[in-house]
Amino acid sequence: MVMVGTAAAAAAGRAALLLWLVLALADLRASAAADCNFPAVFNFGDSNSDTGGLSATFGAAPPPNGRTFFGVPSGRYCDGRLVIDFIAESLGIPYLSAYLNSIGTNFSQGANFATAGSSIRRQNTSLFLSGFSPISLDVQSWEFDQFMNRSQFIYNNKGGVYRQLLPKADTEEVETIIPDLMERLTSVVESVLWHGGKYFWIHNTGPLGCLPYALMHRPDLAAPMDDAGCSVKYNKVAQLFNLRLKETVASLRKKHPDAAFTYVDVYTAKYRLISQAKKLGFDDPLLTCCGHGGRYNFNLNIGCGGMALVNGTWVAVGACDDPSKRVSWDGVHFTEAANKFVFDQIASGALSDPPMALRQACHSRGAQ
């Protein structure tokens, strides 16, 4: 099974569409009606599914990240678990180790190539100037190639402990680059297919116009707002991207009838949470838990865990008292509670095309 998902953020005065992709190798010995057995999962993407890649490479995510579930920062930009963590739990496999993390990793049931700040396209700049990671989707694909080649060589020739650690085999500007993004996505998917991936669970992008970061970065571009307080323009870009993504998935399904492609409407799950937050037991869905100041408790220049000058004294930017009541963790990422809600919405397959539950996605092969 391959699960594919997209996420979006606003930067440099334009929306930058990011992507994460999960590859799971399935064992289909069970009957068509039974749950699939996915012994290994490989994830590609950005901060929505990064379990420690950026933290290991460019500096650890500081406290209070990790406070709700792990008790300490775990490389995730969240107070606890991400959607990819809930996916791993539901499939009965360990949380995915970051490929770039050299400490405490276990690749026996997959690896995570996602890195916060990554995009589908290469960035002709540095992380420190633009905020974008140099580890774009094609770089993650090359890492995957290297991982597969080297791990199989070590597995076959070294044995011993390695057999326990390694597995078997602006808005207008954004609109104009979407075709190129789809071509790059198709290229990566077909590269994964070449490596033996067959089962794809593909997430579309969420409502980027509901991110406090997007609303604060360029208020002039964010207006007007809808009833949920989200940017209509930014969300229209996300919706257009999702339309093209769904078309691309349909094309891949026709081109590769032996593979299974499940398109998952994460946008609807996230917007449902934001627009109905109080009804669902959350408070203001646009109010950041770990932040400082302003309408959204968010400052573009002071991130979660950073230092802010308050009444002449430098203090650390900490988290709200109860992250489980907030949707937004740090203005860009969701809290663990919000991630759990999204996972519960999509795991059953109710928001999927075809309507296939996560644990049965290997059976959607050939569906139109």
Which three-class secondary structure state does DSSP give residue 31?
coil
- Kindly name the residue from 46, 79, 330, 353 that is annotated as catalytic: 330
Question: Is 47 annotated in the active site?
Answer: yes
CB of 36 closer than 8 Å to CB of 1: yes
What six digits make up the tokens of 21? 């992709």
Positions of E strands within the chain: 2-11, 14-27, 37-44, 110-112, 199-203, 260-264, 307-310, 313-316, 352-353
Torsion over CA: 299, 301, 306, 307 (sign): negative
Burial (CB count <10 Å: 0-12, 13-18, 19+), residue 59? exposed
Rounded CA gap, 41 and 45, in Å?
A: 13
Which three-class secondary structure state does DSSP give residue 71?
coil
Under the phi-then-psi rule, with left for phi > 0, alpha for psi from -120 to 50, and beta for the rest, what region is 92?
left
Question: Is 333 annotated in the active site?
Answer: yes
Give the contacts of 130 (CB within 8 A, at least 6 positions apart).
11, 12, 123
Question: For 272-323, what is the HEC assignment?
Answer: HHHHCCCCCCCCCCCCCCCCCCCCCCCECCECCCCEEEECCEEEECCCCCCH
- Kindly name the residue from 217, 292, 333, 363 that is annotated as catalytic: 333
CB of 218 closer than 8 Å to CB of 14: no
Q: How many CB atoms lie within 10 A of CB 345?
A: 18
Q: What count of Cα atoms within 13 Å lies in the side-chain half-sphere of residue 249?
A: 32
What six digits make up the tokens of 257? 């009838």
What residues act catalytically?
Answer: 47, 330, 333
